[in-house]
Chains A and B, each alone.
Chain A
Amino acid sequence: MISPAIEVHGLTKSYGPNGLTFSVPHGSICGFLGPNGSGKTTTLRILMGLAHAGGGSASILGVPAGTSHEIFRKVAFVPEVKDLYPFARVEEMIRLTRGFYPNWDHSLERRLIDEFEISLRMKCPKLSKGTKAKLYLLLALCRRPELLVLDEPTEGLDPIAIEQTLRLLVEQVAERGATVFFSSHQLPEVEQVADYVVMIKRGHCVVEGELDGIKQCYRRVRCVVERTDADLPRSLANWRREGRFVTGFSADDADTLSQRLAGTGVAVLESEPATLKEIFFEQMEHA
């Protein structure tokens, strides 16, 4: 069994993770979700050695976070604020980064400069937000990283740039078996490319696992009740009532649920897998 790409155990820090535990398997694309202020960026900074953990442990590719600079031969980080050196031009930035990595992917560099239409002679601070993001991505991807960690990679990007970014992430995993760990608020995007998900709330992990597996446990069910004045069975306690209809989430499929509800005056109308967005809201609402 290969060890996980990222492993976090009981991670704690003021204004950040609060006994956070999760692990990210190799070769997966893992979405890191949570409301603002739940400690996502702090956790990423701790993983990259930019901040110190208050308690607990964190490691990337088996190496404890913040202990080795050599690990950055295999790990690339794209932070939320994607500013690079204000005194450098794009081509100088690329030249500088390239010099640190003997196994630099020159063909990918050429391809991305083309695809992203990055003007090489421009000074970094003059780049638009989207171009900055693309440049940062280029600098990260051309090092052929085993692990890519990104903080809100598609924030503020136009739809074409978003698709380009997602496709590049998928390529990294498909062609090189890299692991991608990214935090995002864009749930549909995460649903599109991620196969593993970690959801945190107030500093600890509320959901972790393969996205498919999670969705199996979350089916959005719509039922109809015989009598509007009757109480709902206890298992449906926090379901929403609208007249004769009751909606909620259940881990059981339609058949099992119907059997359980037999004789309670509640009948299953339809049962569908929930979207990631629905699962997220459901998790965030219930403490």
Chain B
Amino acid sequence: MYLQLIEQVRHAIELGALRAGDQLPGIRKVAEDLVMNPNTVAKAYREMEHAGLVVLRHGAGAFVAESHANGQREDQRNMQKGRTVVHRAVAALRDLDLDDGAIRRLVESELAEINEEVHR
């Protein structure tokens, strides 16, 4: 569950919804709003700090990190490019009359094969 939280924050930063210096809501508030364990939320915040996503300032809260936000811009660009590639690929697969389920299976088995090769 707390992985989802980290992903949400990461995603928000990538999309630019959260910018460098923005303050994340307090641990208590997040815990109460999402009905999640506050210790788990605290852990998520600490991990995000560890990953360089945010900076925890004593007594003030969590703020989106500066440096990472800069680095994120490049990741953002890659994500944009990636989105375009996927868009074209999915369109092409749809032209072959494949439904969404089939497309998903193809992608997953492709990823799985890549993983297998890596491990062999």
- Give residues in A with beta carbon < 8 Å to B: 27-29, 163, 166-167, 170-171, 173-175, 191-195, 212, 254-255, 258, 267-270
Partner of B39 from A27, A258, A268 at Cβ < 8 Å: A27
Contact partner, B37, options A29, A267, A269, Cβ 8 Å: A29
From 69 to 120 in chain B, residues with beta carbon under 8 angstroms from any chain A beta carbon are: 112, 115-116, 119-120
14 further A-B contacts with Cβ under 8 Å, apart from A170-B35, A173-B38, A270-B112, are A28-B39, A167-B32, A167-B35, A170-B38, A171-B32, A174-B27, A174-B31, A195-B39, A195-B40, A212-B2, A254-B115, A267-B120, A268-B116, A269-B112
| CB < 8 Å neighbour of B28 from A27, A174, A195, A258 | A174
Docked Cα-Cα span, A12 to B109, in Å, equals: 52
Known pairs A170-B31, A171-B32, A212-B43; A192 contacts B38 (CB<8 A)? no
Which chain A residue shows the least CB distance to B27? A174
Q: Report the Cα distance A267→B112, complex, angstroms.
A: 11
Which of A170, A194, A195, A258 is close to B32, meaning CB atoms less than 8 Å apart? A170
- With A174-B31, A175-B28 known as contacts, the answer to whether A192 contacts B36 (CB < 8 A) is yes
State A192–B31 Cα separation when bound (angstroms): 11
The majority secondary structure among interface residues of chain A is: helix
B17 within 8 A of partner (CB): no
Partner of B116, one of A192, A255, A267: A267
How many Å lie between the Cα of A163 and that of B28 in the bound state? 17
Chain A residue numbers with a CB within 8 Å of B120 are 267
Closest chain-A Cβ to B35's Cβ sits at a distance in Å of 5
Min CB gap A5→B, angstroms:
13
Chain B: CB-nearest residue to A28: B39
Q: From B27, B28, B37, name the one whose CB has the most chain A CB atoms within 10 angstroms.
A: B37
Q: In the complex, how many angstroms separate the beta carbon of B24 from the nearest chain A beta carbon? A: 15
Number of residue pairs spanning A and B whose beta carbons lie under 8 angstroms apart: 52
User: Given A191-B1, A212-B43, are A174 and B38 also a contact pair (CB < 8 Å)?
Assistant: yes
Chain B residues, Cβ within 8 Å of A163: 35
| B116 close to A195 (CB less than 8 A) | no
Residue in A closest to B37 when the chains form the complex, CB atoms:
A195
Nearest first, the 5 closest Cβ-Cβ pairs linking A and B are A174-B38, A258-B119, A174-B28, A195-B37, A195-B39
Bound-state Cα–Cα, A171 to B33, Å: 10
Interface positions, chain B 1-30, Cβ under 8 Å from A, are 1-2, 27-28
On whether the beta carbons of A192 and B1 are closer than 8 Å, the reply is: yes
* B112-A193 in contact (CB<8A): no
Q: Which residue of B lies closest to A273 (CB)?
A: B3
- Identify 19 residue pairs between A and B in the complex whose beta-carbon atoms are under 8 Å apart, listed by A's number: A28-B39, A166-B35, A170-B31, A170-B32, A170-B37, A171-B32, A174-B28, A174-B31, A174-B32, A192-B1, A193-B37, A194-B37, A195-B37, A195-B39, A212-B2, A212-B43, A255-B119, A258-B119, A268-B115
User: Which residues of the other chain, A, contact B32 by a CB distance below 8 angstroms?
Assistant: 167, 170-171, 174
Question: Chain B residues near A192 (CB, 8 Å)?
Answer: 1, 35-36
Q: How many angstroms between the C-alpha atoms of A171 and B31 in the bound complex?
A: 8
- Tell me which residues across on chain B come within 8 A of A267, comparing CB atoms: 116, 119-120
